[in-house]
Structure 1
Amino acid sequence: MYSEETQSLSDVTYMMKESLDGATAGIKKVFLLQSLIISPSRTQHFTSVSLYLSCEDQSDSTGWRVRRNTDRWGLEDCSSSVWGSQTGSTCTIRSTMIWDTGVYWCESESGEKNHPVNITVHFDVILESPVHPVTEGDTLTLHCLYQHTTPPNLRADFYKDESLIQSQTTEMIISTVSKSHEGFYYCKHPERGESPKSWISVTVFHSESQISVLHILSSVLAVSPYLLVTVVLIFRCCRMRERLENWVGMSGMALNWFRSYLEEVIMIVQWVKGEEDVLGKDNDLPSEER
């Protein structure tokens, strides 16, 4: 008796499920992608020290490997080379050399790659900067380190894109990072020398993929109240039809006429809801007068 209404409800349910599944997949892709973890956590490192790189996330790190591309050795895997040794998803460089400077990343068995990281190995003076992009609004702290002193913090001048931004300080702090703070940073000491340059990037809180996910979720939530009203009206219409046919004995043309009347009522209710959205909630006129 209710095959058409049941089919419509099934179609709507399927569409909502597809939208939610798509949103969930987007969230997983944004938040669960493998990331390269570096210890010590910085992009510049001294020579003749140990360096640890691993592929980790909150779900599973099985099947991921550390790869790199250097000017001297080209493309290499940690597990199949002499420069490092890999245990599980962790790669260890026992004694760094300047030739270890290059691009490093995590790669899965299927070829999926995460965001690459530029690692620089240098002697004497290095800049301590974050490995991954800084989120807009966060605090950025930079240190100038010297290899032959303990502690290694060095009082130096800090530069961005060749312009001096702070002088004779052991650390440089930007309390609220914005997109304008992106650029090449380095530190310089008049006697010890200067560090290599490191690119610091800033990401906006809502990335493109996050906006897409939030848009899907907001669309589903926005249509839910009207979808619920429609489903309830259809259900009541079907119940009314059953009562008229079985209890009152209405059938034939009279039943079809009454069914058409109820369908028009549903359309009017949906139209009124749409008009309320256009006119706004501040309009106090009753719906019958619109």
Structure 2
Amino acid sequence: MMKAAFLCFLIYMMFMGCDAATVFVSVAPGRSQFFKYDHFSVSCEGEEEPAGRRVMQRMKDGEVKAHLSPYSVSAAFPDEHTGVYWCEAGRGANSSDVFVTVTDGSVMLDSPALPVAEGGDVTLSCRCKTSDSADSSCGPAEFYKDGIRIESSSTGDMAVHSVSGSDQGFYKCKVNGSGESPESRLTVRAPSPTPPAPSAPSAPSAPLLPVSTLVRHLIVGAPYLLSTIILGLVYRDRRKHQRDQPTGQRRTRDEVIMQIIS
């Protein structure tokens, strides 16, 4: 029976491994800074059913709030909507974090909210809030990385080509006469693996089942598999126990069975 319990544990662990969901966080528009009264949304994507996804928010004071996905903000406020956002799925999977900053100043840095793939290109833009509440390019601006001035731009844009790990850091921009933006962290991630080159055509094979379908089949078949294994172990132990009994006891039992049958 100990072996049967061990097999049950293995099957349980297998289901737990297959049950892990994958969830991703996204921000629209896809930048990390917004002016006061701007609108933006945070949503969760992935294999988990939409009903099981939640947008989590850790505010500046440390309070954590849960929102339904997608979480739409129609009028952003610095104290209420600045913070760290991530997604949780109904089966315990969490996404990576994104930091969103809402500023009541007149200058912001338009930088990507999500990590940038290594080897790609990214453009940072310094934007100013105008009297009609729209944001536009500030014109000449200075860009800083980790507190050090790295570039002056006459257009208010700074392009970073072939991004690498050394480009990670906290960026901000400054405009004479208008002020400076908050800092935002630029994160660099490893590039996605290149898919293998197509091989020569081969004989058609059976289509692969989706993971969700495979998990459902395993769940349905698990009780039958467990019952078969347990009955087999019990039968084997009973046969072994009978073989270990003295011959006289087995003969007496056989005679009793024959008398009952006759």
1:153 is matched with which residue: 137, 155, 158?
Answer: 137
Identity between Structure 1 and Structure 2 (%): 33
User: What is the CA deviation profile of residues 2-27 of structure 1, one whole-angstrom value per residue up to 9, with x for unaligned ones?
Assistant: xxxxxxxxxxxxxxxxxxx9xxx99x
Matched ranges for 1:107-126 at <5 A: 107-123=88-104, 124-126=106-108
Which residue in the other structure is 1:67 paired with? 56
CA-CA distance at 1:109 after TM superposition: 1.9
Matched ranges for 1:186-201 at <5 A: 186-201=172-187
What is the identity, as a one-letter code, of the residue corresponding to 2:149? L
Matched ranges for 1:117-196 at <5 A: 117-123=98-104, 124-148=106-130, 152-155=136-139, 156-168=141-153, 169-196=155-182
CA-CA distance at 1:56 after TM superposition: 1.5
1:90 is matched with which residue: 52, 57, 70?
Answer: 70
User: What is the CA deviation profile of residues 21-73 of structure 1, one whole-angstrom value per residue up to 9, with x for unaligned ones?
Assistant: 9xxx99xx8xx832211111101111112221111137753410111011247
CA-CA distance at 1:200 after TM superposition: 0.8
CA-CA distance at 1:122 after TM superposition: 0.3
Q: Distance in 2 between matches of 1:119 and 1:171?
A: 20
TM-score normalised to structure 2 length: 0.60
User: What is the CA deviation profile of residues 120-179 of structure 1, one whole-angstrom value per residue up to 9, with x for unaligned ones?
Assistant: 100211111111111111001101111216551112111111222221332110121111
**Structure with greater proportional helix content:** 1
1:105 aligns with 2:86: yes
1:58 and 1:152, CA in 2 relative to 1: closer, same or farther beyond 3 A? farther
Check the 8 A contact 1:160/1:185 in 2, yes or no. Answer: yes
1:42 aligns with 2:31: yes
Structure 2 residue runs of 5 or longer lacking an equivalent are 1-13, 197-262
Q: Distance in 2 between matches of 1:151 and 1:116?
A: 26
1:203 is matched with which residue: 183, 189, 196?
Answer: 189
1:152 match: secondary structure: strand
1:42 match: secondary structure: coil
Q: Distance in 1 between matches of 2:130 and 2:22?
A: 38
What is the identity, as a one-letter code, of the residue corresponding to 2:156? T
1:130 match: secondary structure: coil
What is the identity, as a one-letter code, of the residue corresponding to 2:121? T
Q: Distance in 1 between matches of 2:26 and 2:44?
A: 6
Q: Distance in 1 between matches of 2:129 and 2:46?
A: 32
Check the 8 A contact 1:34/1:61 in 2, yes or no. Answer: no
Structure 1 residue runs of 5 or longer lacking an equivalent are 1-20, 79-85, 215-290
Matched ranges for 1:279-290 at <5 A: none
What is the identity, as a one-letter code, of the residue corresponding to 1:50? H
CA RMSD of aligned residues (A): 2.7
CA-CA distance at 1:117 after TM superposition: 0.7
Q: Distance in 2 between matches of 1:192 and 1:43?
A: 20
What is the identity, as a one-letter code, of the residue corresponding to 1:48? Y
